[in-house]
Chain A
Amino acid sequence: MDIAAANNLSAGDSGRPFAATRVADIMSTNLVTLSAHHTFGEAVQLMTHSPFRHFLVVRADGRLAGVFSDRDVLRALGRTPNWQAKNVSGVMTHKVFTVTPETPLSVAAAEMLSRRINCLPVIGNDGKVCGIITSTDLLRSYQKIQASLENNLGDTSV
């Protein structure tokens, strides 16, 4: 398995701790998903009772239909007088950039930065949604490696 091999290499002689390098290493697989036909009110309800800010909208066949974020909700509430009548598909982002479990984390980070977004759906080989990676996942991972970099001030090999 490539990922395991890479992690063994990363430990190396310096005994540095596990360093995540691919999307699969840090993505969330425990997904809260929505369907496009959910009402806007149902989606807002779910969002206010959940710690998450991004929800994947998934079709019956497991394929991605879109992403529904807290910013989409706030924007819709501000702009749309008849938001009660909307459903999820009327508010979500339809054209979504995705990654795979094998995508290098540097690429995932670069895409988020250049597109000014905070989450990327992860799509498996079968074309179905298998996870989500958010900027918070990336920052948690950064926190770990940054702490170990600070503890090895003399070691500038990374």
Chain B
Amino acid sequence: MNQSNRGGGVESVTAAHSQSTGRYQCVADVMTRKTVTLSPHHGFTEAVSLMADRHFRHIVVVDTGGQILGVISDRDILRTLARTTNWQTKDVSQIMTRDPITVKRETPLSVAVAKIVSKRINCLPVLDDEGKVCGILTSTDLLKAYQKVLESLESNRAAL
């Protein structure tokens, strides 16, 4: 297990540098910088205990060079528990979603939201220019951003 934290010291760090919510423009403005990663050879039980202990639902699977291999969601884990009796013997590479859809830091937020909605997924790993994982954008990050936009929309209206 490896936790990279390039953004700050708090769990589930979202970039808060845009004071005005109207300035949320690209993925880097709202993504979670602290990602939890596993290697493909980690055991299924390690993924389960990671997710059971913490408040996140997605784990990124990377190789030793930091290149992305796949994503595991809580639904993947629940599905494996429901369908297989020998889940103790499985490893991460057997249950992950391979070659997940990814975005870059500078991808416009509207494009990222469209991907999440149209592909019926809840997370997009964020890759830097070298193809390494530098964050994760989840539907929760996007809901938080939308909530801020809504709040300022509503207070603008109240002032009118």
Instruction: Identify the A interface with B (CB < 8 A).
Output: 6, 9-10, 19, 21, 70-71, 73-75, 77-78, 104-106, 109-110, 112-113, 116, 135-136, 138-143, 145-147, 149-150, 153, 155-158
Given contacts A113-B140, A139-B117, A143-B117, contact A158 B149 (CB under 8 A): yes
Given contacts A78-B78, A78-B81, contact A142 B156 (CB under 8 A): no
Report the minimal beta-carbon distance from A28 to chain B, rounded to whole angstroms. Answer: 14
Number of residues on chain B facing chain A (CB within 8 A): 38
Residues of B within 8 A of A6 (CB): 157
Residues of B within 8 A of A146 (CB): 24, 109-110, 113, 146, 149
Residues of B within 8 A of A153 (CB): 25
Report the minimal beta-carbon distance from A77 to chain B, rounded to whole angstroms. Answer: 3
Given contacts A74-B78, A139-B113, A156-B22, contact A113 B149 (CB under 8 A): no
Q: Is B82 an interface residue (CB 8 A)?
A: yes
Q: Is B16 an interface residue (CB 8 A)?
A: no
Report the minimal beta-carbon distance from A83 to chain B, rounded to whole angstroms. Answer: 9
User: Is B25 a contact partner of A150 (Cβ separation < 8 A)?
Assistant: yes
Instruction: Identify the B interface with A (CB < 8 A).
Output: 20-25, 55, 74-75, 78-79, 81-83, 108-110, 113-114, 116-117, 139-140, 142-147, 149-154, 156-157, 160
User: Is A19 a contact partner of B142 (Cβ separation < 8 A)?
Assistant: no
Residues of B within 8 A of A109 (CB): 143, 146-147, 150
Q: In this complex, what residue of B is CB-closest to A113? A: B143
User: Is A158 a contact partner of B152 (Cβ separation < 8 A)?
Assistant: yes
Residues of A within 8 A of B75 (CB): 70-71, 74
Other A-B pairs, 13, CB within 8 Å; known A112-B143, A139-B139: A21-B153, A71-B74, A74-B78, A77-B82, A78-B82, A106-B147, A106-B150, A109-B146, A143-B110, A143-B114, A146-B146, A149-B25, A156-B20
Residues of A within 8 A of B116 (CB): 139
Residues of B within 8 A of A140 (CB): 117
Report the minimal beta-carbon distance from B22 to chain A, rounded to whole angstroms. Answer: 4
User: Is B22 a contact partner of A142 (Cβ separation < 8 A)?
Assistant: no
User: Is A135 a contact partner of B152 (Cβ separation < 8 A)?
Assistant: no
